[in-house]
Structure 1
């Protein structure tokens, strides 16, 4: 096993496109690190640079105790699992798993032993003599994993390996991959655009946007203490609701609604204290809003209901809050008050609100997030 470290890594293509900007972070030995971000953010480029499939414009890439900038992919002691599985259709499962060992020239007895063990771990023993065309998507993905496992590499690299699977199978396979990684204790870098996948699988998660690393932290810290508005909105599903507001002492004014912020909030966000008529961007997660008729709160707002999605265990209630909505993705895109953008709240399934009602909404003021309108960073 080995750790991976990226030191001031940049990637600039021939057309002067700057794909990665001063990427700095480490993946600890045995850690499951997830790269997450929207399409085009640079996460797959970073992974391919670790694999040696993309050149490094500047900076240093360390795997273990050596710089590997100019080391061929085959000599980096890593195994990569691709989105497409990349199985040989004319070979059996046994032959697909054994292939990298044959190329490495290992003795036949060693190859058979490793293939048998990988098949046992991945529950593929009964399928060893089948060809990929006779396997389900999940089984093919396990074969691709088996081919990586038998190499006993220093690190696994996985590029959106579950994106071709249906929703139910994705949930099953992400649990299997996370369990397998912990069992093998192999350093793993995993790329996905799905933040739910990132939060459920990673020991730590690296959030990227526009080729710039936004934050690296544990899933819980990303949720509780995002460093900026982009991370706050990207982590969590449905996304955090973001609005322009004004803080005047202990009173928060959100459009035509006002309520008091508890003193304890200023205890763990001291930079908010003493503000008078201070413009802020306030973030409210859907799970921190409920029907005030069911769960009363001292912090309450009202808003027209535009849509109710009853999901059985909860209701997703879409609300037209009378305040300027803020786009977390584009630093220059602050909406005017007239923009039609609904907030989303997770209401109890016992709520009787319907589209067309004006709902009374209980806000958990302890869980509000505050951001500076100019820097778009969290206020603590």
Structure 2
């Protein structure tokens, strides 16, 4: 096992396109770090540079204390798990898992022991004689994991390994991979475009956009204190509602609605006071909005009124779409499905809510949890 240090790394292709800009990231020994971001953000390119499958244009890459910029992939002591499993169809599960060990001329008895141990860990003991075509998608992914495990590498690199699985299997495999990583204690870098995977699996999450590292932190801290508009919108599902607003003392004017901010907001964000009289970007998470008839202890000036456009009942909650007469802020996510020219906001209501499409609704806002950003730089407003 070993740490991985990415120090001011660039990736520029021969045609001049730059995919990665000055990426710096320290992955501690035994840590599970997730690289997440929209399509084309550079996360897979960064992983491939660590693996040695892409050359580094500038900067330094270390695995442990060793600089590996010019070290061949096979000599980096890493194991990679791919999106498409990359299994040999003519080999059995046992042969696939043990193939790298066979190439390394490990004694047959040791190969058999390692394969048996990995299969037991991955609940594949009954499938060792099967071929990949006889396995489910989840079992194939376990075989790919087993092939990585038996090598006992210094680090695991995983490139969207769950993207070919259905929703139920993805949930199961998320838990399996997390359990295995903790059990083995192997340094792991995991790439995904799915922020739910990132939040549920990583010790820390690194958010990338257009080749730049936006923020790296624990999942909870990313959720609670996003550093900019992009991270705020990317982390959380449904996505954060982002609108232009005007600050006037403690009053926050949001289109034709007004919210009163508690004094604690300015204590926590001293720089916010300097925006008095100016436009800012305000972020409201859907879970911080509730049907006012069901909300308890709603503070004065902490409700807005609107009309329900659509409801989606999920059993445990109702996702409510409603209109706000305020300009939306573009989070800059090319994968976002929302049309930012519209004025559609989303709330997560208690399932007891009786709201209906086309009817007026009072919405309680947890004003203590609002997020504020500079409208020009899109950076969070704190100190």
Q: Which TM-score band applies after superposition, normalised by the shorter structure?
A: over 0.9
Aligned to 1:341: 343
Query: For 1:259 and 1:37, how far apart are their aligned partners in 2?
Result: 32
CA deviation digits over 1:161-217, x for unaligned, max 9? 000000000000000000000000000000000000000000000000000000010
Aligned to 1:133: 133
Aligned to 2:251: 251
Aligned to 1:305: 308
CA deviation digits over 1:119-178, x for unaligned, max 9? 111111111011111110000100000000000000000000000000000000000000
Aligned to 1:144: 144
How far 1:274 sits from its partner (Å)?
Answer: 5.5
- 1:293 match: secondary structure: coil
Aligned to 1:315: 318
Shifted more, 342-351 versus 297-306: the winner is 297-306
Can you give the 5+ residue segments of structure 2 that lack an aligned partner in the other structure?
none
Query: For 1:376 and 1:329, how far apart are their aligned partners in 2?
Result: 10
Query: For 1:210 and 1:357, how far apart are their aligned partners in 2?
Result: 41
Query: For 1:146 and 1:278, how far apart are their aligned partners in 2?
Result: 57
Query: For 1:177-216, what aligned pairs fall within 5 Å after superposition?
Result: 177-216=177-216
Query: For 2:125 and 2:339, how far apart are their aligned partners in 1?
Result: 60
Which consecutive segments of 4 or more residues in structure 1 shift more than 4 A? none
Can you give the 5+ residue segments of structure 1 that lack an aligned partner in the other structure?
none
Query: For 1:27 and 1:242, how far apart are their aligned partners in 2?
Result: 32
Aligned to 1:362: 364
Contact 2:9 2:58 in 1 (8 A): yes
Contact 1:249 1:274 in 2 (8 A): no
Query: For 2:31 and 2:70, how far apart are their aligned partners in 1?
Result: 24
TM-score by length of 1: 0.97
Query: For 1:143 and 1:173, how far apart are their aligned partners in 2?
Result: 12
CA deviation digits over 1:71-107, x for unaligned, max 9? 0000000000000001111110000001000001111
Aligned residues: 376
Aligned to 1:19: 19
Query: For 1:44 and 1:340, how far apart are their aligned partners in 2?
Result: 32
Aligned to 1:154: 154
Contact 1:5 1:63 in 2 (8 A): yes
Query: For 2:199 and 2:333, how far apart are their aligned partners in 1?
Result: 23
- 2:223 match: secondary structure: helix
Contact 2:38 2:333 in 1 (8 A): no
Aligned to 1:351: 353
Contact 1:34 1:198 in 2 (8 A): yes
Aligned to 2:76: 76
Query: For 2:274 and 2:174, how far apart are their aligned partners in 1?
Result: 46
Aligned to 2:49: 49
Shifted more, 122-131 versus 149-158: the winner is 122-131
How far 1:275 sits from its partner (Å)?
Answer: 4.1
Query: For 1:108-127, what aligned pairs fall within 5 Å after superposition?
Result: 108-127=108-127
Query: For 2:59 and 2:274, how far apart are their aligned partners in 1?
Result: 44
Aligned to 1:266: 266
2:330 equivalent among 327, 330, 334? 327
Query: For 2:178 and 2:350, how far apart are their aligned partners in 1?
Result: 31
Query: For 1:330 and 1:218, how far apart are their aligned partners in 2?
Result: 21
